[in-house]
Amino acid sequence: MTGARRFYGEFVSKAKQNHTANNDISAEIKALSFEEAMRELDAIVDQMEDGRLGLEQSLAAYKRGAELVKHCQATLEAVRQQVQVLDGEVVKPLDHLPETPSSNQV
Q: What is the per-residue pLDDT across 46-99, written as a single tens digit (0 to 9) for each?
A: 999 998 889 999 999 999 999 999 999 999 998 888 877 776 666 565 555 445
CA gap 39, 27 in Å, rounded: 18
Confidence bin at 14 (pLDDT 50/70/90): low
pTM of the model: 0.61
Rounded Cα–Cα distance for residues 98 and 106 (Å) = 17
Closest CA to 13 of 80, 51, 65: 65
> What local confidence, expressed as pLDDT, does residue 24 receive?
76
Does the structure show a pLDDT above 60 at 100?
no
- Distances 89 to 38, 49, 78, 82, 94 between C-alpha atoms, Å: 28, 41, 14, 9, 15
Flag whether pLDDT at 15 surpasses 60.
no
